Chains A and B, each alone.
Chain A
Amino acid sequence: MKKEPGSGKFKLWKKGAHLFSPRIDRFSMKIYDIYKFILRFFKEAFVPPYDFKEIIRQCYYVGYKSLVLISLTGFITGLVFTKQSRPSLAEFGATSWLPSLISIAIIRALAPLVTALIAAGKVGSNIGAELGSMRVTEQIDAMEVSATNPFKFLVVTRVIATTCMLPMLMMYTAFVGMMGSYLDVHSKELTSFRAFFHNAFQSITFLDISASVTRAIVFGFTIGMAGCYTGYNATQGTQGVGRAANSAVVASMFLIFIEEIIIVQIVNAIRPI
């Protein structure tokens, strides 16, 4: 039998006694509930049978949903960033540094963040709304009573899909960003394609790339989890569906910023100067 939140050592709270103020108690209950949700993911993700077909389908949706917006934003970010940086570098006569400056900015910082924020808006909200409407129209209950495990079929597949797809989308964003930058550099300085990328990659280390991939993985997991948690636990009819979609986006963006700060600190600590 599925244990409800508020069982076991939290029983006391349920009976109306409060450890702290009611609000703090409710907040801690929520955190405990989220913790159990994440734990359940790891318990069920590695137990066969695996839904490869459904995971592939979800991966396809994650890519398909965000590709256009990511292409556009990535390209424009690269282009505009280059245009805006040129005057400052030109002051020192250092416009030849543009490619490496841009590549550092894009690969270290912009690509993971831009990708994650767009995916949170497009994919996270979509997952929240989809699972939310399945919850309020009792489709999730219907799966449960037909002896199938809705958590495994709906949540595990989606979280795996976002976690796998975000690094790929991030690399794609970095690539179109660099192309945008190249367009500008090429038109002003007549740098060749080869020279541009040779220059750009000289200043990129393995640590930069692996740190960004790690961030993308963490962000992907966050987006999937936030969408699934809010959707899976949606209540109160159609209103709840909107609320689930909304809080999926807000929560994942908020978490992405916090994770970004933490990971940057760690990477900077281990980066050889």
Chain B
Amino acid sequence: MKKHISHIDRSTAVISIRDLYKSFGSLHVLKGIDLDLFKGENVVVLGRSGTGKSVLIKIISGLLKPDKGTVQVLGEEVDKLNTKELQALRLKIGFSFQNSALYDSMTVRENLAFPLTRNKPGISDDEVEEAVKQVLEDVGLSQAINQMPSELSGGQRKRIGIARTLILRPEIMLYDEPTAGLDPITSADINSLINEVQELYHTSSIIITHDLTCAKATGDRIAVMLNGQFNKMGSFEEVFDSDNDEINSFYNYNFIEGGSA
């Protein structure tokens, strides 16, 4: 179970999704998604590969357009915003990509400085340097500052990816499979990093994963996606104390048959 206590404000929803549909050609990916993310909360979205978890958070950040339904982020409807308004909203959303998506022609320092210098043209070099060092310290990778992304390990890249979004001090974090492809110890490190970020930066987060250890360690609430809908939502115990065969097989596979993501 999650160790530290989160300060969740259940009266304020920072993300609120209603009846969301999205298809690609004849492939219907999302079929009526409803979700509320409350202030200060970590919601974990569980689901098998290819169920549309990444598509969901890409819609939340405005990278993809929904076919039907509404997505409100911090009170604004994402697909109705113009370019300027969307940019302003995106400053408040941190997006950690499944494959980290670090800019591989830039050093770690330049990767981290990029969103800052582009969004705050007047900022001085000293301020940038200080912010970069601070955020690297927060993710525990101060020594990597001059390295290129190609010289980093998968877990380190994930951390830098998270740091790059934290540097803009977002209110909402979207993590796409933060522990995929990492060993259990590094995964545990990332899990505690996610919890630290929640505490330190007071973020609300959506964490996408198919790693139950990660779900258990980071989630205040779990939502299980099956066939393009949320099939079950609640605390970890509530969700997995269930008689739905598909959910149970997911659980059994992860913990009993020993394949941890």
Residues of A within 8 A of B (CB): 1-2, 4, 49, 130, 134, 137-139, 141-149, 153
Contact = CB atoms under 8 A, between A and B. Distances in A.
Interface stretch (B98-106, B188-196, B215-223, B230-238): B98-106
Nearest to B87: A147
Given A143-B114, A148-B118, 19 more contacts: A1-B81, A49-B121, A137-B101, A138-B98, A139-B102, A139-B104, A141-B58, A141-B101, A144-B63, A145-B63, A146-B95, A146-B115, A146-B118, A146-B165, A146-B168, A147-B87, A147-B88, A148-B114, A149-B87
Nearest to B114: A148
B86 interface: yes
Nearest to B167: A146
A188 to B, nearest CB: 49
Contacts of A141: 58, 63, 97, 101
A143 B97 CA distance: 11
Contacts, number: 68
Contacts of A130: 105
B261 interface: no
Interface string B67-104: 00000000000011111001110110101011101111
Contact of A2 (B61, B83, B95, B119): B83
A149 B104 CA distance: 18
Contacts of B115: 146-148
Contacts of A134: 103
Contact of A145 (B79, B90, B104): B90
B22 interface: no
Contacts of B114: 143, 146, 148
Contacts of A146: 90, 95, 114-115, 118-119, 164-165, 168
Interface in B104-120: 104-105, 114-115, 118-119
A146 B161 CA distance: 11
B91 A147 contact: yes
B99 to A, nearest CB: 6
Contacts of A148: 114-115, 118-119
Nearest to B92: A147
19 contacts: A1-B62, A130-B105, A134-B103, A138-B97, A138-B101, A139-B103, A141-B97, A142-B95, A142-B102, A144-B90, A146-B115, A146-B119, A146-B164, A146-B165, A147-B115, A147-B119, A148-B114, A148-B119, A153-B118
Chain A to chain B: the 10 pairs with minimum beta-carbon distance, closest first: A148-B118, A146-B115, A142-B101, A147-B90, A138-B101, A145-B95, A147-B87, A147-B91, A145-B61, A139-B101
Given A146-B164, A147-B87, A137 B99 contact: yes
